[in-house]
Chains A and B, each alone.
Chain A
Amino acid sequence: MAKTQHTPRSAVRGLPKCPTGIQGLDEITGGGLPRGRPTLVCGAAGCGKTLLAMQFLVRGATDYHEPGVFMAFEETADELAKNVASLGFNLPALISRKQLFIDYVYVERSEIEETGEYDLEGLFIRLGHAIDSIGAKRVVLDTVESLFAALPNMLVLRAELRRLFRWLKDKGVTVIITAEQGNGTLTRHDLEEYVSDCVVRLDHRVTDLVSTRRLRIVKYRGSVHGTNEYPFLIDEAGLFVLPITSLDLQHPASTERISSGVARLDSMLGGQGYFRGSTVLVSGTAGTGKSSLAAHFVDAACRRGERCLYFAFEESLHQITRNMRSIGLNLQPWLRKGRLYFYAARPTLGGLEQHLAAMARMIDTFRPHVVVLDPITNFVSVGQIADVKSMLMRLVDTLKRQQITALFTSLTAADSAREQTAVGISSLMDTWLSLSTIELNGERNRGLYVIKSRGMAHSNQIREFLITDHGIELVDVNLGPSGVLTGSARLAQASHDRSEAVARQQEVERRRHDLEHRHAALDAQIAVLRAEYEREADEVQNSVAELQQGEQRTQVDRAEMTRQRKADKAPAVRRTPGVHAKGGRQ
């Protein structure tokens, strides 16, 4: 059975796998195709079967030191080499290094007469010879079905194909067999009956004038695999399958913080800026400075020595750099140093999947720390909102897995609510900055809110957002009695506030003086009253003294009278003289 010297990850699970080296396909299949077994790749004409198979061999030869044999039934070696040269595959070089062997099998029906029993031993011998001559570990048969058209005897052919696949298994080579899609069946000649280990189906569909290539693992005996249809892309670097929705949310969460490029914004975001690997949404109406904010972020990242990838879907590279220079941001040095890379394309250039694939591919090759998509709203013109959302979700997953910080801008329609993004992706975002226009007194000014920022204490205040010739500045808005003020109204209010303050100060002074005056007046009054009191007190004492004297005199007089009448002693005599408090009354 299978050779195990190149044991992949899943070896523990029992089934050794053979990595295809095709981006994404190895992820879906959990490590590659079943090693030492045949895999059927089927699909309609022009869906990329030959390319997938060729890439399997080329990557095998270059990345995994596994030479491969390509048995072509439809194209000559020359044609094949030319066809894949545009994808960066240099077949003649691989052939001369004995890493690849191409055998073109051509059977012309009209030249052949059948005269009795035969078998396909010739094919076996050719294949065996090819495998042995370079020590091949991988084999492609593209498209073996052509034999059905060339050879008249179906029974012999079917029996021989069955024998061929078994023979290949015995040889321990990993095989891809391509086949045309049949009418309602996987393959036109039911090859899936013979190749039962792994079946991959390619598809090329056009929906709404936009074509999308898709791949699906129809079956994979003895292995778990992704069952969805996965979009794939054929570009100048070959075939590329989108890994897409990660089934598990297990991407790491960094606690590292990176600057947004605007100091004041950093301080609004808990004082330190965004989390690395987080996603930032900047939404706002037209002309609110979304791209400028993105450019600041990019500039800051480049200053830190990081690599940035800027996907521009509305403006060209030159337009953006010119515009940013006008606000004091010079991106040219970063472009020259290779830290910044622009990818500018109209969203209508291709389907969503194609864009996603292209972006994923760029991210994969450029390995950026920071990615900007400006704006994502334009994708709605090429797809349904749900599709756009799912595309972005997949992109976000891809980015998060690689700890890439991403900033997305989104254009909010002027008449829609602030907290509404055109594609409804805010839930995917960790930080959401909303830019808006504040119209007041005949002028438009910009405001910035942090609507949310997961995992950090952030400011709930609106800041006025100024685009100056030395970049973006955030200033506090004036929260005066008449509401939020920005722009010249804010300045007017500020000067008004200043004069009011002066007036208030003066008032305070005045009142303080007033108080002092009153204090002095009060003191004077108290002195007068005291003097009056003292005078009254003196008078009272004098009169008391007079009354007492009068009393004494009276008693003396009475005693004198009594003595003269010789009267008895009366109890009243015991009264003590000189009691001030009682006054002098009898």
Chain B
Amino acid sequence: MNLPKRRVSTSAPHSGRRSASSAERWELRLYVAGQTPRSLAAFANLKQICENHLAGKYRIEVIDLVKNPQLARGDQIVAIPTLVRRLPPPLSKIIGDLSNTERVLVGLQLRARQ
């Protein structure tokens, strides 16, 4: 499995069944550094979670810092991999390979913190 070039989008912006909540678009950014097993795992885990919980209203942008190191500053990336929830606000960051689904959901605020 390979990481997508830049963007993964699962739905057209204005189509689909939940047009009422189309304002609530999820923009996620996954920062990785090269095609390491951990990066690949993180992307796979993210994709899985999005499909399960945000089907049709999310967009994942994968940024490989090895190729674009200057982009690390913008989102204050230190740890790899880091997932940034850019939209909807508030901004939040989730670090790690996203293997702990529960915590990813908490981090994305799809589930209340226990």
A interface vs B, CB < 8 Å? 103, 105-107, 111-123, 125-126, 128-129, 147, 150-151
Q: Which B residues lie at the A interface, using CB under 8 A? A: 31, 33, 38, 42, 45, 65-66, 69-70, 72-73, 76-82, 91-100, 103-104, 106-107
Interchain CB contact under 8 A, B96 and A122 = no
Contact of B99 with A117 in the complex, beta carbons under 8 Å: yes
- Give the chain B neighbours of A120 by CB distance below 8 A: 78-80
A126–B92 CA distance with the chains assembled, in angstroms: 20
Contact B92 A121 (CB under 8 A): no
* Those 9 A-B pairs whose CB atoms lie nearest each other, nearest first: A113-B107, A116-B96, A129-B69, A116-B99, A121-B80, A122-B77, A116-B97, A115-B96, A121-B33
Q: Which of B31, B70, B97, B103 contacts A122 (CB 8 A)?
A: B31
A113 close to B104 (CB less than 8 A) = yes
Report yes or no: B91 in contact with A125, Cβ–Cβ below 8 A: no
CB-based nearest A residue for B113? A113
Given the complex of chains A and B, what is the CA–CA distance between A113 and B38 in angstroms? 17
Q: Are B80 and A126 in contact (CB under 8 A)?
A: no
> Which chain A residue has the least Cβ–Cβ distance from B39?
A121
Interface contact A126-B69, CB-CB below 8 Å: yes
Which residues from chain B contact A112 at a C-beta distance below 8 Å?
Answer: 92-95
Whether A111 and B78, one on each chain, are in contact in the complex, defined by CB atoms closer than 8 angstroms, is: no
User: What is the distance, in angstroms, from A69's C-beta to the closest C-beta of chain B?
Assistant: 12
Given contacts A103-B73, A113-B93, A113-B104, A122 and B80 within 8 Å (CB-CB):
yes
Interface centre among B31, B70, B79, B104 (most CB of A within 10 A): B79
Q: Cβ of B99 and Cβ of A111 under 8 Å apart? A: no
Chain A residues with Cβ under 8 A from B95's Cβ?
Answer: 112-115, 118, 151
A215 to B41, CA, bound (A): 49
For the complex, give the distance between the alpha carbons of A36 and B82 in Å: 31
Question: Are B31 and A115 touching (Cβ within 8 A)?
Answer: no
A125 touches B79 (CB 8 A): no
Identify which of A107, A122, A147 gathers the most chain B CB atoms within 10 Å of its CB.
Answer: A122
Decide: B33 and A129 in contact? CB cutoff 8 A.
no
A-B contact pairs, 16 of them (CB 8 A): A111-B92, A111-B93, A113-B94, A113-B104, A114-B94, A116-B42, A116-B96, A116-B97, A116-B99, A118-B38, A119-B79, A120-B80, A121-B79, A126-B72, A128-B69, A151-B78
Once A113-B103, A115-B107 are accepted as A-B contacts, the answer to whether A126 and B77 lie under 8 Å apart by CB is yes
Q: What residues of B have a CB within 8 angstroms of the CB of A129 in the complex? A: 69-70, 72
Q: Within the complex, what minimum Cβ distance (angstroms) separates B114 from chain A? A: 13
Given known contacts A113-B107, A115-B95, A116-B98, is B66 in contact with A125 (CB within 8 Å)? yes
Q: Which residues of B contact A123 (CB under 8 A)?
A: 78-79
Report the minimum CB–CB distance from A148 to chain B (whole Å): 12
Give the shortest distance, in Å, between B38 (CB) and chain A (any CB): 6
User: In the complex, what distance in Å separates the CA atom of A109 from the CA atom of B12?
Assistant: 34
Q: Known A126-B69, A129-B70; judge A106-B99 contact (CB<8 A).
A: no
Q: Contacts A115-B103, A147-B78; is A122 near B65 (CB within 8 Å)? A: yes
Closest to B72 in A: A126
Q: Name B72's contact: one of A115, A122, A147 (CB within 8 Å).
A: A122
Given contacts A121-B33, A125-B65, contact A114 B103 (CB under 8 A): yes
Q: How far is the CA of A118 from the CA of B80 in the complex (A)?
A: 5
Q: B91 near A121 (CB under 8 angstroms)?
A: no
Q: How far is A115 from B81 in the complex, measured between Cα atoms in Å? A: 10
Contact call B69/A114, Cβ cutoff below 8 A: no
B96: A residues at CB distance < 8 A = 114-118
Q: Is the CB of B107 within 8 A of A126?
A: no
User: In the bound complex, do residue A115 and residue B79 qualify as a contact, i.e. CB atoms below 8 Å apart?
Assistant: no
Known: A113-B107, A115-B103, A129-B69. A107 touches B81 (CB 8 A): no
Closest residue of chain A to B104 (Cβ to Cβ) is: A115
**How far does the Cβ of A423 sit from chain B's closest Cβ, in whole Å?**
55
Q: Which has the most chain B C-beta neighbours within 10 Å: A107, A118, A128, A150?
A: A118
The answer to whether B93 touches A122 (Cβ under 8 A) is: no
Name the distance in Å between B99's Cβ and chain A's nearest Cβ.
Answer: 4
Q: Known pairs A113-B107, A151-B95. 17 more at Cβ < 8 A? A: A105-B78, A106-B76, A107-B78, A115-B96, A115-B103, A115-B107, A116-B45, A116-B96, A116-B98, A116-B100, A118-B95, A119-B38, A122-B31, A122-B82, A125-B69, A129-B72, A151-B78
